[in-house]
Structure 1
Amino acid sequence: MAHPPATELVPGIWRIPTVGRAQVNSYAFVDGDGSVTLVDCGLRSAPPRIVAGLAAMGKHPSDVARIVLTHAHPDHAGGAAELARQSGAPVAVHVDDVPYAVQGRAPRPDQSLRAGRFLARLPGGGFPPVPVGEDLTDEQVLDVGGGLRVVATPGHSPGHVSLLHEPTRLLVTGDAIFNVLRLAISPRPLCSDFRMTRRTAHRLGELDYDAVAFTHGPEITEGGREVLRAFLARTVTARTPE
């Protein structure tokens, strides 16, 4: 059975899968005036799937008024330049990831890890340079659907952010936490600083929300805060492996 091109999670917020059923996700926030804020743009090959997702919502790239990236990795920023071109929308990235976004390269993986040092030597890993029009900062509240709060959760990348939509009580974790097969902290070799990833993930347990949306994996629509807090208590508080 074909996967739906877009799924409404709460009123006005849609998940658009760009790989598989939910292996890699983008999100669309529809404002009262009909404009769309797009969160993450998938791989370089993702724009057609995102455009199809918008069409399923009755929207077009011309309705996109802003693009927000949770971080500057190829599976999140890869399609951003093309979607910015199609929509004319400005792209917003946390200030600490802006240098990577505009150069079209991911931050170096954690060099304290053997796997990170190995991955850093591999070719590739780039994406089309992103024309950043807005620098995001921690606790900034974007004028999106009544307020979209930027929550800095660095470690997966220097400027990684999660996003809290307080009006609908929905949290987008970005890559701070994955939900592919099971809940998990971002894999160590994929982080620029794995120990920081574990520390900053605690912020997500301190926020107030009901539903949790992941950029990798399906959402939790009920009791999300309790599920995440229990996960963090048994996982993140454990001693970080050397």
Structure 2
Amino acid sequence: MAPPPAVAVAPGVFRIPTVGSWAVNSFALVDGDGSVTLVDTGVERAPARIVAGLAALGKHPADVQRIVLTHAHPDHAGGAKEMADRTGAPLAVHADDAGFVESGESPPNDKSYSVGRVFARLQDGRFPAVGVGEKLTDGQVLDVAGGLRVVATPGHSPGHISLLHQPTRTLITGDAIFNVLGMRYPPRFFCTDFRMTKRTAHVLGELEYDRVAFTHGPEIVGGARDAVRRFLAKSLTA
């Protein structure tokens, strides 16, 4: 069965599956004036899925006013150039990942683990380069659908961010936490600094939210904050 083109997470917040039903997700935030902010753009072939997701919401690429990337990896920034070209929207990413987006090359892998050293030799890690219009900083609140707060969670990449949509109390984790067969950290060989990834993810347990959406995995819409806090507490002893 084909996945739905768009899934409602909260009022005005929609998940757009770009690979499978939830393997890789982008998000559309619809503002009161009908404009759209995209969060992540999937792999290089994802724009067709994103455009279909927008159409299911009655939206067109011309409605997209801003594109925000959680980080500079091919499964999140691979479709950024095409979506920027289609929409004419400026691209925003944390300052520490901006150079990687503009060069079209992923940040380095964590080579303190043998699997990271092997993966670094095998992977390509490149994606279409695209210009960055805005370099984001921790704590910045974007004028998006009532307020989208930037939460720095570096480690998976140097400038990895999570996002908190304040009006609907919806957290988008980026790759700080996956929800694939249960909550888990991203594979260490995909991270620039896996230990930092685990350390900075704990800030997500200190925020206030009711729903949590994952770029890898389905959302949690009930008891989300408690679920995240239980996962983080358990990970301290793992």
Question: For structure 2, which runs of at least 5 residues remain unmatched after alignment?
Answer: none
- Distance between the aligned counterparts of 1:140 and 1:72, measured in 2? 19
Say which SS state the counterpart of residue 133 (structure 2) adopts: strand
Letter in 1 for 2:108: R
- Distance between the aligned counterparts of 2:237 and 2:164, measured in 1? 26
Letter in 1 for 2:32: G
Report the CA distance between 1:8 and its aligned residue.
Answer: 1.1
Regions of 4+ moved over 6 Å = none
Post-superposition Cα deviations, 1:201-232, rounded to whole Å, max 9, x if no partner, equal 00000000010000000000011000000110
- Distance between the aligned counterparts of 1:109 and 1:44, measured in 2? 20
The Cα RMSD (Å) is 0.8
- Distance between the aligned counterparts of 2:123 and 2:71, measured in 1? 20
Report the CA distance between 1:63 and its aligned residue.
Answer: 0.3
Letter in 1 for 2:78: G
Q: Aligned residue for 1:113?
A: 113
Is 1:50 the counterpart of 2:50 in the alignment?
A: yes
Is 1:200 the counterpart of 2:203 in the alignment?
A: no
- Distance between the aligned counterparts of 1:238 and 1:166, measured in 2? 31
Question: For structure 1, which runs of at least 5 residues remain unmatched after alignment?
Answer: none
Letter in 2 for 1:83: M
What TM-score does the superposition give when structure 1 sets the normalisation length? Answer: 0.97
Letter in 1 for 2:211: A
Post-superposition Cα deviations, 1:166-208, rounded to whole Å, max 9, x if no partner, equal 1101000000000011110111111000000010000000000
Q: Aligned residue for 1:213?
A: 213
Letter in 2 for 1:167: P
Q: Aligned residue for 2:131?
A: 131
Report the CA distance between 1:2 and its aligned residue.
Answer: 2.2
Say which SS state the counterpart of residue 96 (structure 2) adopts: coil
Letter in 2 for 1:171: L
Post-superposition Cα deviations, 1:16-62, rounded to whole Å, max 9, x if no partner, equal 00000000000000001100000000000000000000000000000
Q: Aligned residue for 2:237?
A: 238
| Cα pair distance change 1:123/1:189, threshold 3 Å | closer
Report the CA distance between 1:123 and its aligned residue.
Answer: 4.7
CA contact (8 A) 1:77 1:130 kept: no
Letter in 1 for 2:230: A
Identity across aligned pairs (percent)? Answer: 67
| Cα pair distance change 1:32/1:195, threshold 3 Å | same
Q: Aligned residue for 1:155?
A: 155
Say which SS state the counterpart of residue 96 (structure 1) adopts: helix
Q: Aligned residue for 1:225?
A: 225
Letter in 2 for 1:101: V
What TM-score does the superposition give when structure 2 sets the normalisation length? Answer: 0.99
